[in-house]
Structure 1
Amino acid sequence: MRWLDHREPIPESLRGAVIALGNFDGFHLGHQAVAREAIEWARAEGRPAIIATFDPHPVRLFQPDAPPFRLTTLEQRQELYLAAGATAMLVFHFDAALAGTSAEDFVRVLLAERLGAAGVVTGEDFTFGKGRAGNRARLEQLGREAGIAARAVAPVMDNGAPVSSSRVRDALREGDPQEAARLLTRPFAIRGVVEHGDKRGRDIGYPTANLAIEHYLRPKFGVYAVTGRLLATGEELQGAANIGVRPQFQPPKELLEPYFFDFSGDLYGQEIEVSFHHFLRPEAKFDSLDALVAQIDADCERARALLAGAG
């Protein structure tokens, strides 16, 4: 799948595409509806289908101190867009220059001249251009002038409210990964490279694969039933993971620490993806290591049962 940068010339074979235009960080049910409209439109006309995203997220430019909130990395998005049927992923590099681009130039210069778009699909609430001056009606008007057809997709409603990334984030912060997965159509997953740690888990019989949380949203800290995927081989694993600051040990350090059942291989330096399925309990500090181990025993037993569908 092609990975395009809006600042670079687009290959001639991808000009005339239909572009799904939005941020599409979580790629939840609402985002999928916009992408599906673009892909079906493109296929009906024999055109390439491109799903666009913005990186860094615009919030990072305007609120650089905002807490981490990303639901996916660009690599994860690329895989999701490919699975949806897109021909390519287009990354709008969001910086001061792009933020200062007028709505008119966004359509005429970027979409029409540089990208050669034949059509664009957005959500009904999509805004663009300097000061968010462009909206759905403005996109349709400017598109007509530039030879670009525009369509908008209504929000996907769920329990009386639109599906949104905010709802997904709220569910994760509240310790409800199942609700987040329902809105995303897949579990929330953190991807990273396994780092060397202080080997505390190995000392107590539960060796963990330590991952930095980096720019991902912080779900409710605690212990979860998880699955893991080794990106190099595709091997799937089951386990229990703590995400948080490890109150039992000093100094505090934010980490995702999955322990995978019945696995004894060396994961250091490997890239893995950890998916969150069930919240088991909040983080806690125990009176002794024996008490901690007893609790981990219980956590793993419950996680096994839940992941087997028996809990």
Structure 2
Amino acid sequence: MKVITPTKHSIPKTPSVVTIGTFDGVHIGHQKIIKKLTKKAADHHLISVVLTFFPHPRMVLQQNANIKLLNTIAERKEILSALGLDYIYVQEFTKAFAEMSARDFVKHILVEKLHVRHVIIGYDHHFGKDRSANIDDLKAYGTEFGFEVEEISAQDVKDVAVSSTKIRNALNSGDIITATAFLGYDYYINGTVVHGKGVGKKMEFPTANISIDEPYKLIPKNGVYVISSIYNDKIIYGMMNIGINPTFEGDKTTIEAHFFDFNENLYGQKLRIYFLDRLRDERKFESVNALITQLRQDRYNAKQTITKRNA
């Protein structure tokens, strides 16, 4: 699989089957489309191409929207790469690109750059300036330029009943189980371990403070979570607090992971943290001892969750 960016690379002049979208999260609905794409490519001796966009269109067109994404662009490429694609074509989304007419998009991108022979697209797909063109327009362009359009029906979409927005809403409410079911994998964040205040260590719960790689990555709702990570090729489990540490009068959101039966120095390390479940809301305790008592209960509950998950 190769990632193509318009300014740096070109795609072979081989007829392709293409699907188009932002694919934030690359959830089970996206995966269903991509399976259809790779099968079509194999059956007809075409190359499979996902045409995706970065930044997210809403980041450019609604600059005050402050949208948070399920994947960084690096994560999106990684997940897509594992699905058997030949190429990922990343189109930079700018205000100038947003002004491109639907016909120019088809002619200059799909036909001239991607050598499209077949497009697989959702029934409700819109494209071109002001998203003015729909699937009927795309079919008309297919007749003009010599490619076929395969429509993903409304029923197929309803059968999956999932969207990136639903997953974002689940994570924003702390519903990890629903997010996992819709994604088809455990939601995760990537970050670097940085120095904190050392409070956790004094309470017998040393933590790795995580600084997130990209500010647009969605962080789940504040609270305490069951987590896992990979360190030295081994799975390590733990719990993580996202919040402001109200018991210590904190006012800045931090992400602090405590790993069970683990005493390695992680400062400066890059970690990927997987969310397995949510234990509780963050809250202010009347004393440090009360907080420690709760953390011990959290640890017990987290280990129970992990045991059931691995049974």
C-alpha distance in 2, partners of 1:48/1:19?
A: 9
- Is the Cα–Cα contact under 8 Å of residues 33 and 153 in structure 1 kept in the other structure? no
Q: Which residue of 2 aligns with 1:72?
A: 71
C-alpha distance in 2, partners of 1:172/1:271?
A: 23
Q: Which residue of 1 aligns with 2:26?
A: 27
Q: Which residue of 2 aligns with 1:218?
A: 219
RMSD: 2.0
Change over 3 Å in CA distance of 1:222–1:129 after alignment to 2:
same
Q: How far has the Cα of 1:119 moved from its partner?
A: 2.2
Q: How do 1:259-298 residues align onto structure 2 when only pairs under 5 Å count?
A: 259-298=258-297
- Paired AA for residue 215 in structure 1: Y
Q: Which residue of 1 aligns with 2:230?
A: 229
Q: How far has the Cα of 1:94 moved from its partner?
A: 0.8
SS at match of 2:88: strand
- Is the Cα–Cα contact under 8 Å of residues 244 and 256 in structure 1 kept in the other structure? yes
C-alpha distance in 2, partners of 1:148/1:94?
A: 24
- Is the Cα–Cα contact under 8 Å of residues 102 and 129 in structure 2 kept in the other structure? yes
Matched, 1:157 2:164: no
- Is the Cα–Cα contact under 8 Å of residues 11 and 113 in structure 2 kept in the other structure? no
Q: How far has the Cα of 1:29 moved from its partner?
A: 1.8
Change over 3 Å in CA distance of 1:304–1:41 after alignment to 2:
same
Q: For 1:168-226, what per-residue CA distance to the aligned partner results, in whole angstroms no more than 9, with x for missing partners?
A: 12222222111111111112111122222222222222222222342122322100111
- Is the Cα–Cα contact under 8 Å of residues 18 and 49 in structure 2 kept in the other structure? yes
- Paired AA for residue 199 in structure 1: G
- Paired AA for residue 279 in structure 1: R
- Paired AA for residue 60 in structure 1: M
- Paired AA for residue 285 in structure 1: K
**Unaligned segments of structure 2, at least 5 residues:** none
Q: Which residue of 2 aligns with 1:145?
A: 144
- Is the Cα–Cα contact under 8 Å of residues 197 and 210 in structure 1 kept in the other structure? yes
C-alpha distance in 2, partners of 1:258/1:173?
A: 19
C-alpha distance in 1, partners of 2:131/2:7?
A: 20
Q: How far has the Cα of 1:250 moved from its partner?
A: 4.8
- Is the Cα–Cα contact under 8 Å of residues 225 and 241 in structure 1 kept in the other structure? yes
C-alpha distance in 2, partners of 1:33/1:121?
A: 11
Change over 3 Å in CA distance of 1:88–1:266 after alignment to 2:
farther
- Is the Cα–Cα contact under 8 Å of residues 61 and 95 in structure 2 kept in the other structure? no
Q: For 1:140-170, what per-residue CA distance to the aligned partner results, in whole angstroms no more than 9, with x for missing partners?
A: 2112322232222134335xx8311121122
Q: Which residue of 2 aligns with 1:208?
A: 207
Matched, 1:48 2:77: no
Q: Which residue of 1 aligns with 2:179?
A: 180
- Is the Cα–Cα contact under 8 Å of residues 212 and 254 in structure 1 kept in the other structure? no
| More displaced stretch, 58-67 vs 35-44 | 58-67
C-alpha distance in 2, partners of 1:193/1:94?
A: 28
C-alpha distance in 1, partners of 2:258/2:151?
A: 44
| More displaced stretch, 249-258 vs 219-228 | 249-258
- Is the Cα–Cα contact under 8 Å of residues 4 and 11 in structure 2 kept in the other structure? no
SS at match of 1:212: strand
- Is the Cα–Cα contact under 8 Å of residues 7 and 93 in structure 1 kept in the other structure? no
Change over 3 Å in CA distance of 1:104–1:211 after alignment to 2:
same
- Paired AA for residue 220 in structure 1: K
Q: How far has the Cα of 1:103 moved from its partner?
A: 0.5
Q: How far has the Cα of 1:251 moved from its partner?
A: 4.4
- TM (norm. structure 1) is 0.91
C-alpha distance in 2, partners of 1:11/1:188?
A: 31
Q: Which residue of 2 aligns with 1:195?
A: 194
SS at match of 2:247: coil
- Is the Cα–Cα contact under 8 Å of residues 177 and 277 in structure 1 kept in the other structure? yes
- Is the Cα–Cα contact under 8 Å of residues 68 and 218 in structure 1 kept in the other structure? no
C-alpha distance in 2, partners of 1:143/1:259?
A: 55
Change over 3 Å in CA distance of 1:122–1:256 after alignment to 2:
farther
Q: How far has the Cα of 1:304 moved from its partner?
A: 0.7
Q: How do 1:115-134 residues align onto structure 2 when only pairs under 5 Å count?
A: 115-134=114-133
